[in-house]
Amino acid sequence: MSTTRKLTMAQAISEAMAQEMTRDPNVFVMGEDIGAYGGIFGATGGLLDKFGPDRIMDTPISETAFIGTATGAAAAGLRPIVELMFVDFFGVCMDQIYNHLAKNTYMAGGNLKLPVVLTTAIGGGYNDAAQHSQCLYATFAHMPGLKVVVPSNAYDAKGLMIQAIRDDNPVMFMYHKGIMGLPWMAYFEGSSNEVPEAGYTIPFGQAKVVREGQDATIVTISQMVQKALLAADELAREGINAEVIDLRTLVPLDRAAVLKSVAKTGRLLIADEDYLGFGLTGEISATVAENLDTVVLKAPIKRLALPNVPIPYSRPLEQFVIPQVKGIVEAVQKLMQARMAEGVAA
Amino acid sequence: MQASPEKLLWMYETMVEIRNYEETMANVYLEGKLPPQIQKGLAFDIGSGPVPGEMHLAAGQEPVAVGVCAHLKKEDTVVGTHRPHHFAIAKGVPLDKMTAEMFGKVTGLGKGKGGHMHLFDPEHKFSCSGIIGASLPPACGAGLAAKKMGEDWVAVAFFGEGAANQGSFHESLNLAALWRLPVIFVCEDNNWAISVPKSNATSIEWVADRASAYGIPGIKVANNDALEVYEAVAPAIERARLGEGPSLIEVKTDRYLGHFQGDPEVYRPKDEVSNLRKNDPIPKLAALLKSRGLMTDAEEGVIVARAKERVAGAFAFARQSAYPAAQDALNDVFA
């Protein structure tokens, strides 16, 4: 039996990296402030002391160069983990990510393996405004060639990180700042949980039912899972049992888990912190719409996500655009009002 | 560093092969693209013929490829550009598979998924990219891998003078210098970034002068000459193999053809190419070989015939190969 302890998500991620670095000498980490600082969001905390500067490499502020370096090193047989400090910074290096890292395997007819884990911080809620608060996972999921992993808690983060490092393909590992358990940013307690000391993997493409319910399905990911669970608690007090599904990975996407749950509940809310337009909420909605021959809806689908505006700075503005627990509760209540209307009509 | 007779002969034969390859491709590329077969009003149909898409040929630029690759071994990495054939041939990428890739055939390097700007040969450690300035960062990665593995392998990033104004150039030179990576950055200055001459795009005459900004050697090769390139590059290769870090080399070279095939070249002075061709590096090296008693007229004939035969064989292989099944488009997104 493996011993478990309660870890923050940041601790779980760095533990996963450390265990894989111990297991496989080809694994190393590059990025800005990932050494002595331990990563601005703690994902590489303690690694420099364990592995030294040859394997925990602080880089210049040159994302194009060091992400391209990761691609080149992976082609040569190494397994780099490379950090893009905020996902919002992808603009300075996207060519190396989507034109090279993501496409070279395909253009090589599958003859080239690029085992790179690209870690990056996502999410808002702490008033950092439009250039430091986005999620953008749908942007990366939209383009072929990248696996996209977005954990919601420490246990999943460790298993998914070990899986990512062992995968022979590029994996975007996107962690929300507001669930890392940082000592300087409010976070959702549920994201810190019991984590086995021994290493383990969680396969990609397997969503998790984090709360079972019969009345409505909430499909979500990342920090929004924690909000959805709090919302489900509130809803339970008024007799509504919501099922909460944590997708955990966008590529691959577990569409079957969504359909199975919606077939059971007949009601679907998709709660997302990425932009509403052309994103995750639309993708999940389409999946259900394409399967309406087998899935019967009792109410129209509801979507909660960021309206398509840049994320504002001021607290009331930011809290308005990012879906909150209250908004999830209200959205599910509206889904259920359809039931009540039906009942009246019947 | 003196080039051995074997190296000189290899450079000559490889240049002949490259030139013949590019000239053959220039003709094959036009098949099915010109009037009268196509619709009225079109001068040229890029998406037709056995080799569709853009086609960037490197006739005239052979000395850069052979002068550098003559120093390399199989374990060394080369990252080329959107104009990649001369580098690939000089690095030893199999001609059959490379040509089949350009024909979009299932026997191609990438099973027809890459095409002429995206040639990947992990076995011979060759790759290239259709994006300007994109060769430098992955070459740093190959250099980093060699260093971590404790090997004396080097990585070469080829790029044009236009790419030297990309951020990736500056980021990569700084990173490679900082980490003392065994990378040789080779700027292939053919004076033209598509239609824009270097004087209209670059603030200094020699890109190699930028090496001083990163504390690394900057080497200038003023003539489009294989032997000159070979000798100039030697200390950079040695420095990299010894773990002393990267170098920047700039070679003034000549692009005989358009930026891509079908380029009307309205921007180029009319007599420029005919003047450039007067300094053709291939007959020049042949004359040198003969003057040193390393090649007779008869041997020259054998070498040329041999190179042409390889090229003809590759094109025949490509033509005879099958197209992939259409459904194969859905495979290989992930390894």
How far apart, in whole angstroms, are the C-alpha atoms of residue B57 and residue B283? 19
Residue with tokens 């270097």: B198
pLDDT tens per residue across span A5-19: 999 999 999 999 999
Q: What is the DSSP letter of A249?
A: E
Strands (E), A108-201: 117-122, 147-149, 171-176, 193-196
pLDDT at A346: 37
SS3 content of chain B, % helix, strand, coil (to 5): 45, 10, 45
pLDDT tens per residue across span A88-139: 999 999 999 999 999 999 999 999 999 999 999 999 999 999 999 999 999 9
pLDDT at B97 > cutoff 60: yes
pLDDT at B43: 75
pLDDT tens per residue across span A241-265: 999 999 999 999 999 999 999 999 9
The answer to whether domain A4-196 and domain A208-337 are alike in fold is yes
pLDDT tens per residue across span A314-331: 999 999 999 999 999 999
Q: How far apart are the CA of A290 and the nearest CA of chain B, in angstroms?
A: 21
What's the pLDDT band for A209 if we cut at 50, 70, 90? very high
Task: Indicate the SS3 state at residue A16.
Answer: helix
Q: Do A65 and B175 touch (CB under 8 A)?
A: yes
Q: Starting from the edge strand earliest in sequence, which strands make up the sheet with A249-251, in order?
A: A56-58, A27-31, A79-86, A117-122, A171-176, A147-149, A249-251
pLDDT at B44: 79
* CA closest to A79 among chain B residues: B145
Active site residue A100: no
What's the pLDDT band for A345 if we cut at 50, 70, 90? very low
Cβ atoms A109, A148 nearer than 8 A: no
Other Cβ atoms closer than 10 A to A186: 8
* Exposure of B88 in the CB half-sphere (CA atoms within 13 A): 30
CA dihedral sign of residues A214, A215, A218, A224: negative
Tokens of A267: 């009601």
Amino acid at A53: P
Residue of B114, B142, B332 with shortest CB distance to A72: B142
Angle between the N-to-C axes of helices A63-75 and B136-149, in degrees from 0 to 180, rounded to the nearest 10: 50
Chain A residues 83-102 with a CB less than 8 Å from chain B: 92, 95-96, 99-100
pLDDT tens per residue across span B13-30: 999 999 999 999 999 999
pLDDT tens per residue across span A31-47: 999 999 999 999 999 99
What's the pLDDT band for B41 if we cut at 50, 70, 90? confident
The b-or-e profile of A291-330 (16+ CB within 10 A means b, else e) is eeeebebbbebbbbbbeeeebbeeeeebbebbbbbebbbe
| Mean model confidence pLDDT for chain B | 96
pLDDT tens per residue across span B258-294: 999 988 899 999 999 999 999 999 999 999 999 999 9
Tokens of A53: 């500067």
Q: How many CB pairs under 8 A join A and B?
A: 151
Q: Does A35 touch chain B (CB under 8 A)?
A: no
Cβ atoms B96, B318 nearer than 8 A: yes
Catalytic pick among A20, A32, A132, A176: A132
pLDDT at B45: 84
Q: Do B122 and A108 touch (CB under 8 A)?
A: yes
Tokens of B77: 């990495």
User: What string of DSSP letters covers A274-302?
Assistant: EESTTSHHHHHHHHHHTTTTT---SS--E
pLDDT at A1: 56
Q: Do A105 and B149 touch (CB under 8 A)?
A: no
Q: How far apart are the CA of A281 and the nearest CA of chain B, in angstroms?
A: 24
Tokens of A174: 């996107």
Residues of B in Cβ contact (< 8 Å) with A96: 134, 137, 168
Domain ranges for chain A: 4-196, 208-337
Residue of B120, B149, B334 with shortest CB distance to A111: B120
Residue of A28, A95, A144 with shortest CB distance to B134: A95
Active site residue A63: yes
Chain B residues 161-200 with a CB less than 8 Å from chain A: 167-168, 171-172, 174-175, 178
Q: What is the DSSP letter of B2?
A: P
CATH 3.50.50.60 fits A4-196, yes or no: no
Amino acid at B162: G
- State the pairing for strand pair A193-196/B155-160: unpaired
pLDDT at B39: 65
How far apart, in whole angstroms, are the C-alpha atoms of residue B110 and residue B91? 17
Catalytic pick among A20, A32, A63, A283: A63
User: What string of DSSP letters covers A166-191?
Assistant: H-SS-EEEEEEGGGS--TTS---GGG
pLDDT tens per residue across span B205-253: 999 999 999 999 999 999 999 999 999 999 999 999 999 999 999 999 9
CA distances from A176 to A46, A47, A68, A131 (A): 20, 20, 24, 15
pLDDT tens per residue across span A155-183: 999 999 999 999 999 999 999 999 999 99
Cβ atoms A305, A273 nearer than 8 A: yes
Other Cβ atoms closer than 10 A to B124: 18
Burial of residue B69 (CB within 10 Å: 0-12, 13-18, 19+) is buried
What's the pLDDT band for B2 if we cut at 50, 70, 90? confident
What's the pLDDT band for A4 if we cut at 50, 70, 90? very high
pLDDT at B1: 72
pLDDT tens per residue across span B124-158: 999 999 999 999 999 999 999 999 999 999 999 99
How far apart, in whole angstroms, are the C-alpha atoms of residue A255 and residue B122? 35
Nearest CA to B315 out of B151, B105, B34 is that of B105
pTM of the predicted model, to two decimals? Answer: 0.95
Q: What is the DSSP letter of B169?
A: H
CATH number, domain A208-337:
3.40.50.920
Amino acid at B80: G
Q: How far apart are the CA of B261 and the nearest CA of chain A, in angstroms?
A: 22
Which helix (DSSP H) or strand (DSSP E) does residue A79 occupy?
A: strand A79-86
- State the pairing for strand pair A171-176/A117-122: parallel
pLDDT at A339 > cutoff 70: no
Residue of B112, B140, B174 with shortest CB distance to A68: B140
Q: What is the DSSP letter of B50?
A: S
Nearest CA to A12 out of A170, A202, A115, A160 is that of A160
Other Cβ atoms closer than 10 A to A44: 27
Cβ atoms A177, A87 nearer than 8 A: no
Q: How far apart are the CA of B171 and the nearest CA of chain A, in angstroms?
A: 5
pLDDT at B262: 87
Q: How far apart are the CA of B74 and the nearest CA of chain A, in angstroms?
A: 13
Task: Indicate the SS3 state at residue B106.
Answer: coil
Residue of B77, B110, B143 with shortest CB distance to A108: B110
Q: Starting from the edge strand earliest in sequence, which strands make up the sheet with B155-160, in order?
A: B126-127, B77-79, B155-160, B183-189, B247-252, B218-221
Residue with tokens 């004396």: B152
How far apart, in whole angstroms, are the C-alpha atoms of residue B213 and residue B221? 19
- State the pairing for strand pair A208-211/A242-246: antiparallel
How far apart, in whole angstroms, are the C-alpha atoms of residue A200 and residue A160? 9
